Amino acid sequence: MAHLKDKASALGQGVVIFVYLAILTLIEFFVAVTFKSVSLLIVIAIIKAALVMYYYMHIYKLNENDGSDDPHSYAFKTGTNRLGLWLFLLSDGFVFAGLLVMRSNLLGLTHPGALDQVLGLAVTAVLLVSSFFMNRGETAMAYGDVKGFMNNTLITFVLGLGFFLGVVLVEWPEAAHKGLTVAFGNPTTGPMGGVFYMMTGMHAFHVFTGLVFLGIVWNNARKGLYTAEKHFPVEAAAVYWHFVDLVWIFFYPALYLIGTAVK
């Protein structure tokens, strides 16, 4: 399962997973509109997260034989770096978990009504597609295709930038315009604005850092620093990018779908 024989089947797997994720996202939206079932939304989010973690982030690699006979080998160091990366993501995950706790305590079964559902689904789709291209890019690099990596990463970068600008420059002003403010002495909106801007802001900050990493590995790939055997920075940037997507898998329903919309 873990090791696919050739590049074509690895890319094919990426497509299949993307289709699953896209369908699940649509079901999610449909469930929210029709049934308003919170537990169903949580189940779907967990399935999506598991798919991303296994097939895009390759969490199973933590368990791989990593050349532990020679502590100076690149394979051994990659194993060490990979563990460090995952522990960092675990730690970072607690920030987002804390934000979700805050959200459920303050908003309960309501969500901000000032949000544009179409825009929400659109930015979610953009991020999901970017994750798909990120996976293609990483797969290309794993088979030594630097050109393919650079092209796919460039698409990822553009989509990621689109998500970032879509949230910060389109969604924020629009929500603020509809009355979802951070409440400078405005008791009517309650903590809703605060929760929305804090969660999307924290996520957008991670998207921004992810873009920076993508830019760095793209530039270094251009210089020809990575090969099929030695490309841990590419893997790290990709896993981090998928992590940002993973967080959004939970934040999207938490902010847009769960419960009833409140003005």
Partner 1 sequence: MKGFFSSALARGLFWQVIGTLAGAGLVTGIRAAMGLSATATFFFTEPAWVLGGFLGALSFLVGSGVMDDWIKWMRGIDTPDHHEDHRTGVDKFINVSLDHKVIGIQYTIVALLLIAIGGLFALIFRTELAASELQFLTMDMKLFGQNGPQLYNTLMSLHGMVMIVSILLGIAGIINYAVPLLLGAQDMAFPRLNAFSFWIAVPAAILLLSSLFLGGFDTGWTGYPPLSTRAPVGMQMFFLGVFVAGWSSILGSLNVLVTVIRMRAKGMTAMRMPIFVWASIATSIIALTATQFIGLSFQLVMFQRLFGMGFFDPAKGGNPVLFQHLFWFYSHPAVYVFILPGLGVISELLPVFVRKPLFGYRWIAMSSLGIALVGFVVWAHHMFTSGMNEYLRVPFMYSTLLVAVPTGVKFFSWVATLWKGKISTPTPMLFVLGAIIVFLMGGLSGPPNATVSTDLHLHDTYFIVGHFHDTIFGGFVFPFFAAIYYWFPKATGRKMNETLGKIHFWLMTPSFFILTFGMMYIGLIGMRRRIADYDPALGIDGAHLVLTIAAFAIALSVLIFFYNFFNSIKNGEKAEGNVWNSRSPEWQVPSPMPAHNYEKPFEVVGEPYDYGLNDGGYVKFIEPAKGSKH
Q: Which residues bind partner 1 (CB under 8 A)?
A: 71, 76, 79-80, 83-84, 87-88, 90-92, 94-95, 98-99, 101-102, 105-106, 182-187, 189-191, 193-195, 197-198, 216, 219-220, 223, 225, 233
CB distance 239 to 89 below 8 Å: yes
Helices (H) and strands (E) in the chain, counts: 8, 2
- In the complex, least distance from residue 22 CB atom to partner 1, rounded to whole angstroms: 31
CB of 129 to partner 1, least distance (A): 27
**Does residue 132 sit in helix, strand or coil?**
helix
Minimum distance of partner 1 from residue 171's CB (angstroms): 17
Nearer CB in complex with partner 1: 49/183: 183
Question: Which CB, 121 or 168, lies closer to partner 1?
Answer: 168
CA–CA distance, 144 with 231 (Å, rounded to integer): 9
Residue 69 beta carbon to partner 1: minimum distance, rounded to whole angstroms: 10
Per-residue burial over 174-211, b = 16 or more CB atoms within 10 Å of its CB, e = otherwise: ebeeeebbeeeeeeebeebbbbbbebbeebbebbeebb
Bridge partners of residue 110, in order along the sequence: 260
Cβ atoms of 66 and 75 within 8 Å: the answer is yes
In whole angstroms, the minimum distance from the beta carbon of 95 to partner 1 comes to 5
Residue placing its CB nearer to partner 1 in the complex, 40 or 202:
202
| Residue 19 or 87 with smaller CB distance to partner 1 | 87
DSSP H/E element including 262: strand 260-262
Nearer CB in complex with partner 1: 26/216: 216
